[in-house]
Amino acid sequence: MTALLDEHPHLGVEPVLRELHVPSTTYYRWRQAETEPCERHRRDAELTDRIRKVHDESGGI
């Protein structure tokens, strides 16, 4: 959704949301989550980094 509006800004946010039956609050929450991830997403990213490091250090095992 956000990629569509990023690629085609001439469409306008509100008309696209209306056509897709997506509440504007949902769209703006998605946008906020892109720049300010919630605690769970931050923690998941940290764990993913740790898992990759352990995997690399173990020779891919």
Tell me if the pTM is above 0.75: no
How far CA 33 is from CA of 15, 39, 41, 47, 52, in Å, comes to: 22, 11, 9, 19, 24
Tokens standing for residue 61: 């095992």
DSSP three-state, residue 30: helix
pLDDT per residue as tens, the chain (61 positions):
678 888 888 988 899 899 989 999 999 988 888 888 889 988 999 999 999 999 999 999 8
For residue 1, the model assigns a pLDDT of 67
For residue 37, the model assigns a pLDDT of 83
For residue 38, the model assigns a pLDDT of 86
For residue 34, the model assigns a pLDDT of 83
